[in-house]
Structure 1
Amino acid sequence: MLWLVKLSLQLLDPFWDAGYKGIDFRTQSSLKVGSVLKSDCQTPTATAPSSKLPDYFDTTLGWYAGPTATGPSPWLAQTNAAPFVGVSYIPNTPLETQAPIPGNKHGYNIFERLGHMSPYFPNPRGFGVHEYPVPPGANVTWLNMIHRHGSRYPEVTGNELRLAQKLTDAKGKYQAHGALSFLNDWRNVLGAEILVPVGKQQLFDSGTLHYYQYGHLYPNDGSKIIARTTTQRRMLESAEYFMAGFFGLGWTQNATLELVIESKGFNNTLAGYKGCNRTSWDIGGKTSREWAETYLQDAHQRIRGNITGGLDWTLSDTYSAQTLCAYETVAVGFSHWCNLFTYEEWEAFEYSLDIAFAAGTGFLSPIGRAIGIGYVSEVLARMQHHVLSSPTALINTTLDNNTVTFPTQQALNLDFSHDSNIISILVAFGLTQFAEYLPPTRILPEREFVMAYIEPFAGRLDIEVIQAPAPINPSRSVAVHELYEDGPPTSYVHFVLNQRTVPLGKSLKECGNRDDGWCEMTAFLEVQKVQVEKADFEWACFGDYEMPEYGTVSDGRPPSKE
C-alpha cells in the first residue's frame, strides 16, 4: 500500500505545480466603469487582464506589486527558547514577547518600543484627552478610515538584510561566544516586503473590530462600497484580509477594491512620497545615526567582545541587529537578537526611529505637509460630497473626478496606505501636537511623537462624523440632562488614532477646548482650508530651495519663496 500512496503523490505533483497553483479562486465584481485617461492610470504591457474589469478594479493582475520575496516557514515549536517566566506568550497570539531583557525591572514590553516596526497595539496612554461615548440622541453617521498595512518582512534595501547577507558570507570565518553564541548556527529567515503571517492576522482582526464599531454604516440596499488600496502586494493583501474580517470571506459581494498604481510618476495620495520630487529622509537618517552613535556604544562593545575571527562588526551592524530583532520576531515568532540589548537601549532605539520619521515626513520635514495634503483634500471632498477635478497635490483626477471610482455619498470609506504617508496626513491636517523638536542628544520621555503609538504595523486613523440634535456641551462631565445646549442640529468631527481620540482643539484652536476632543464640523472645514494653503505643494515638492538642516523646520513646510 505504501508504494501506491507514493505513486499517487508523484502523479499529483504535476497537477499541483502546473495546475492548482495557477487557479485564482477570488471572485470579481461585475461593476463596469468608463475608459481610463492615460495621464494617471496607464499600465505597462505585461499580461492581459484576467477579466473585462478596468485595471484599477482587477486585483488579479499583479502589476506594480513591488518586491515579493517570501522567507522560509516559521518553526516556533522548535526554535523558541521559551517557556520564559510570564504570561505574554499564548500560542494563539502568536508572537513570543517574553524574552528576558536586561534592565527591564518593571516588565515592560520592548515590542511596544520598536517604532514603526512594533506589532499593532492600541496607544496605552492616549493623546491627552479622555474618551467619551456618543451622547444619547447623537449618531456616528460617516467614517473615513486610512489604515497602514500589517507586519511585513524588511524592505529589499534594508540594512538588516545587508547584515544578514554579511553574516551569511562570513559563515565559518568567525566564532561567537556568550549571549551571541546563537550566531554560530544562525541563518537568515527573512523574505522581503510582503506581509508575514501575523501581519495578515492584524488586518483581519482590525476588519472584525471595525465591523463591530461601524458595521451599521454599511448600506443595507444591497449596493457595494468602493475601498481603495495600492498595487503593492502587501497593500493589496492587507485590504483583502481587512475586508474578510469586516464582511467575511464573501466580501467581494459587499465591496469592490480599487487599486491605485504605486510607482514613480503616478499620482497616488495613498503613497504621496512617490510623486514628490523631494525627499528629506537623508536629514532624518543622518540625525538618527548621530543619536545611534551615542546610545549604542556599550552594546557595540559587548557584541564585538563576543566575536572572534574574521568578521568586521561595525556600529551600523549593531543598529541593524536591533531591527533584526523586530523583523525576525514578526516573521518566525521569536528572535535571539532581542535580548542582546538592555531596556534603555530599546527605548533609545525607538527614539532614533522617532527622529527619522519626524524629519522624514513629519513636522520636522520640509515636505511633511505636501506629501499628505492630497489625501486631506480627498477627505474634505468626501465630507462635502463632491469629486476632485484639479490635478494637484498628487491627486489622481482620473479616479477622483468620477463618482464610480470616488463615491461622494458613501458613509463607509476604507483606504489603505503606508506609515510615512499617514504621518504626513496628520501633518497636513495641522495636528501640531506632534510637531515638537526631538533633540538628537537626549530622549524626551513625555513626547507626543512616538512612532510606536502613532504608526505601528497595522496602525489606523478613523475619522468619524457625529450628528447631534443640538450642540453638545464641551464639558462632558456635566449631568446627562445638561449634555445638550440650546441650538440647532450640529455635526462634529472626531479623530481616533489607534483606538485613542486625538484632541483636535489642542492643535486647531478654532475647534475649542472640548473635553471630548471633537470639533464642530463647520469649524473643522473652515480651518482645513488654511491647512491646504499652508502645504504649498508645488513649492515644497518641486521648488528650487536648499534642503534645510535638522531642527530648522518645525511646521512641515520648506523655507519661504522670498
Structure 2
Amino acid sequence: MVYRSFLLSAAASLVGALVVDSRQRTSTSEVPDYFNTDLAYFPGPTATGSAPFLAQTNPAPFPGTSYIPNSPLETQIPIAGNSKNGNIFQLHGHLSHYFPNPDGFGVDEYPLPAGAEIVGLNMLSRHGARYPTIGSGVYDFGQKVKNLTGMFNATGQLDFLNTWRYKLGAEILVPVGKQELFDSGTLHYYMYGHLVNNTDGNKIIARTTTQNRMTQSAEYFLAGFFGLDWTLNATLERIIEGWTGSWNNSLAGYDNCNNSKTGVSFGGADATKKWAEIYLANATERLHALIPGFNWTVTDSYNAQSLCAYETVAFGYSVFCDLFTYEEWEGYEYSVDIGFAGNDAFQSPTGRAVGIGYVQEVLARLKHHTIDGPTGQINVTLDNNTVTFPTNQSIYLDFSHDTNIMSILTAFGFTQFAEFLPPDKMIPHELVVSHMASLPEPSYHKQTHSQH
C-alpha cells in the first residue's frame, strides 16, 4: 500500500496539516498473487449484518464480573501491604494500561428513556501505551545505572540491578498500545456503529496529529472500527504537531501557549516533587540500604516506579513493580493526579487556555458551521473548510494527548475536577488521571419528546 499525502497550508500563514488519503493502492508484478493481500480473489461470502448500536440498546451495565480474556501483560505480582486486593497497574496514572473507568465519576448508568434517540458522537481519545518521552526521568535512571555499573553491589530486592540495562525505546507505541486502540475502535463500533452512514459514498473525516504514536493510534482505532479496509470509510487528517508552535493545532494546544511550558505553569511538577519526598521517604531509605555506592535518592525511587509502568507495557513484565508497597503505589497515583491538576487542569493558570480551541471546535460542530477567525489554537485554514472540518457528520473521531485532554476537560468547565489537591497529603478526589486520560468526550443525544 502506498499512502498519498497532501500538505495543506496557507501562504504567509503559520498553519497547516497533512491529510492522509489511503485510497490509492499500487501493486507490482514482483509480488505473486498469492502474496498480494490487496487482490479480492475468492473471498468467500462477504455479507455484512446491520451495524450495532449498543449505546442505544444496552439496558444498563449488569452486576457481576465480566469475562476478561488473556492479557499479554504479567500483572499477577504479589505486592506488600495489598490487603485491599487492589490492582497497582491501575494506579499508574497516565501510564496505566487501558481499563474501564471503575466509578463513572459518580454518575450511574441507566437505559435511555423511551422515545430518546442518540443522534451523534464526538469522541476524543488518547493515544495508546507508549515508550517514555525523550529525556524523561526513567532514561536518566538508566544512564545512572550504566555509568555506575561496577561501582556498586546491589543486594536483596535490588540485586537485579547488577546486570540490568535500560532497553526502552522512545515516544512511539508499544505493542499493547496498538492493541488498546484497536480494541477501543472495536468497542466504539459496537457502541456507535449504527451512526455511520456511508451509503452516499462519502467518507468521514477523523483527525489526529503528525506525531508517530498519534497517527498510529488513529489508524489502529479505525482498523478496529471499520476493519483493515478502513480507508474505504474514513480519511485520516493529520494536523502538524511541531514544538516550535508554528502550526495551530487544537489536539496539541500546549504548542500554542508559551506559558504552558514556563515556570508559571509548573505548579503540578513542583507538587509532585514535594509529595514524592513524603510518600517515598520510607521506600528510599529501604532501597538505599540495598545498594551501597549508588546514592539512591527519592528521584531514583520515583523513576523506579515509572519504570514498572513503562517496562510492563513494553516487555510484559517488570521487576521494579514489587519494590514498593501498595500504599506507595497509591502515593504514586496521587503524584500523577496532583501533577496534572497543577500543570494542565484547574490548578494551572494556563490549563483552560490550552484546551479552549478544541471546545470551540465542538461547539462549531454542534451548530454546524465552520470557523473563519483565529481563536484559541484553531487552525483556521482547516477549520474554515468543510472538506477538512466537516460540520454534518454524525460521528467525529479525534485523537489527542493526555495532558491536552485534561486541559480540554478544564476548558469545558467540568468543575467536579476542580477541587484543590494538596501536595502534602492524599485526599479523596475526582480528578484521577487513570480514569480520565482516554475518556471519550462527549456524546450528544436528541430526545424525541420531553420525557427525562
Which TM-score applies when normalising by structure 1?
A: 0.69
Find the counterpart in structure 1 of residue 220 from structure 2: 241
Matches within 5 A, 1:120-199: 120-199=98-177
**Cα distance in 2, alignment partners of residues 266 and 242 from structure 1:** 25
Find the counterpart in structure 1 of residue 317 from structure 2: 334
1:211-231, Cα deviation, whole Å (9 max, x unpaired): 001101112322101000000
Find the counterpart in structure 1 of residue 13 from structure 2: 39
Amino acid at match of 1:448: E
1:397-419, Cα deviation, whole Å (9 max, x unpaired): 00000000000111110000000
Find the counterpart in structure 2 of residue 395 from structure 1: 378
Amino acid at match of 2:279: Y
Measure how far apart 1:26 and its partner are.
4.8
Higher CA-based Rg: 1
Find the counterpart in structure 1 of residue 18 from structure 2: 55
Find the counterpart in structure 2 of residue 230 from structure 1: 209
Find the counterpart in structure 2 of residue 300 from structure 1: 284
Measure how far apart 1:108 and its partner are.
0.6
**Cα distance in 2, alignment partners of residues 37 and 268 from structure 1:** 17
Measure how far apart 1:40 and its partner are.
3.5
Is 1:109 the counterpart of 2:87? The answer is: yes
Which of 334, 339, 356 aligns to 1:351? It is: 334
Find the counterpart in structure 2 of residue 251 from structure 1: 230
Go from structure 1 to structure 2 and tell me whether the alpha carbon gap of 1:311 and 1:464 turns closer, same or farther (over 3 Å shift): same
Give secondary structure in 1 for the equivalent of 2:362. Answer: helix
**Cα distance in 2, alignment partners of residues 93 and 37 from structure 1:** 49
**Cα distance in 2, alignment partners of residues 434 and 372 from structure 1:** 15
Measure how far apart 1:185 and its partner are.
1.9
Go from structure 1 to structure 2 and tell me whether the alpha carbon gap of 1:433 and 1:168 turns closer, same or farther (over 3 Å shift): same
**Cα distance in 2, alignment partners of residues 91 and 401 from structure 1:** 45
1:326-377, Cα deviation, whole Å (9 max, x unpaired): 1011100000101000000000111111111000010001111111111000
Q: Is the deviation greater in 224-233 or in 91-100?
A: 91-100
Is 1:454 the counterpart of 2:431? The answer is: no
1:281–1:356 CA contact under 8 A, matched in 2: no
Amino acid at match of 2:178: K
1:446-470, Cα deviation, whole Å (9 max, x unpaired): 2101111111xxx132322222221
Give secondary structure in 2 for the equivalent of 1:96. Answer: coil
Go from structure 1 to structure 2 and tell me whether the alpha carbon gap of 1:370 and 1:175 turns closer, same or farther (over 3 Å shift): same
Structure 1 residue runs of 4 or more that deviate by more than 3 Å after TM superposition: 26-29, 32-38
**Cα distance in 2, alignment partners of residues 100 and 55 from structure 1:** 47
Amino acid at match of 1:454: M
2:20–2:236 CA contact under 8 A, matched in 1: yes
Measure how far apart 1:41 and its partner are.
3.5
Measure how far apart 1:34 and its partner are.
7.8
**Cα distance in 1, alignment partners of residues 204 and 85 from structure 2:** 44
Give secondary structure in 1 for the equivalent of 2:153. Answer: strand
Go from structure 1 to structure 2 and tell me whether the alpha carbon gap of 1:207 and 1:28 turns closer, same or farther (over 3 Å shift): farther
Give secondary structure in 2 for the equivalent of 1:462. Answer: coil
1:261–1:268 CA contact under 8 A, matched in 2: yes
2:8–2:18 CA contact under 8 A, matched in 1: no
Which of 262, 265, 277 aligns to 2:258? It is: 277
2:15–2:247 CA contact under 8 A, matched in 1: yes
Matches within 5 A, 1:515-534: none
Go from structure 1 to structure 2 and tell me whether the alpha carbon gap of 1:319 and 1:173 turns closer, same or farther (over 3 Å shift): same
Find the counterpart in structure 2 of residue 287 from structure 1: 271
Go from structure 1 to structure 2 and tell me whether the alpha carbon gap of 1:136 and 1:222 turns closer, same or farther (over 3 Å shift): farther
Go from structure 1 to structure 2 and tell me whether the alpha carbon gap of 1:349 and 1:384 turns closer, same or farther (over 3 Å shift): same
**Cα distance in 2, alignment partners of residues 165 and 221 from structure 1:** 56
Give secondary structure in 2 for the equivalent of 1:199. Answer: helix
Find the counterpart in structure 2 of residue 364 from structure 1: 347
Give secondary structure in 1 for the equivalent of 2:122. Answer: strand
Measure how far apart 1:434 and its partner are.
0.2
Matches within 5 A, 1:88-99: 92-99=70-77
Find the counterpart in structure 1 of residue 35 from structure 2: none
Amino acid at match of 1:328: E
**Cα distance in 2, alignment partners of residues 196 and 38 from structure 1:** 38
Go from structure 1 to structure 2 and tell me whether the alpha carbon gap of 1:59 and 1:428 turns closer, same or farther (over 3 Å shift): farther
Question: RMSD over aligned Cα, in angstroms?
Answer: 2.2
1:58–1:259 CA contact under 8 A, matched in 2: no
Give secondary structure in 1 for the equivalent of 2:259. Answer: coil
1:40–1:396 CA contact under 8 A, matched in 2: no
Amino acid at match of 2:269: G
**Cα distance in 1, alignment partners of residues 9 and 334 from structure 2:** 48
Gaps of 5+ in 2: 24-67
Go from structure 1 to structure 2 and tell me whether the alpha carbon gap of 1:270 and 1:35 turns closer, same or farther (over 3 Å shift): closer
Give secondary structure in 2 for the equivalent of 1:143. Answer: strand
Measure how far apart 1:162 and its partner are.
0.5
Find the counterpart in structure 1 of residue 41 from structure 2: none
**Cα distance in 1, alignment partners of residues 2 and 142 from structure 2:** 36
Measure how far apart 1:58 and its partner are.
5.8
Amino acid at match of 1:284: G
Measure how far apart 1:472 and its partner are.
2.4
Which of 445, 465, 471 aligns to 2:444? It is: 465
1:82-117, Cα deviation, whole Å (9 max, x unpaired): xxxxxxxx9941111111110001221001111111
Matches within 5 A, 1:382-461: 382-444=365-427, 446-455=428-437, 459-461=438-440
**Cα distance in 2, alignment partners of residues 94 and 159 from structure 1:** 26
Measure how far apart 1:246 and its partner are.
0.3
**Cα distance in 1, alignment partners of residues 69 and 160 from structure 2:** 23
Amino acid at match of 1:416: F
**Cα distance in 1, alignment partners of residues 298 and 365 from structure 2:** 48
Go from structure 1 to structure 2 and tell me whether the alpha carbon gap of 1:436 and 1:198 turns closer, same or farther (over 3 Å shift): same
2:15–2:380 CA contact under 8 A, matched in 1: no
**Cα distance in 2, alignment partners of residues 275 and 33 from structure 1:** 20
Measure how far apart 1:173 and its partner are.
1.8
- The aligned length equals 405
Go from structure 1 to structure 2 and tell me whether the alpha carbon gap of 1:387 and 1:470 turns closer, same or farther (over 3 Å shift): same
**Cα distance in 2, alignment partners of residues 363 and 187 from structure 1:** 39
Point out which structure has higher relative CO (alpha carbons under 8 A, 6+ apart): 2
2:354–2:407 CA contact under 8 A, matched in 1: yes
**Cα distance in 2, alignment partners of residues 283 and 211 from structure 1:** 39
1:381-402, Cα deviation, whole Å (9 max, x unpaired): 0001000011120100000000
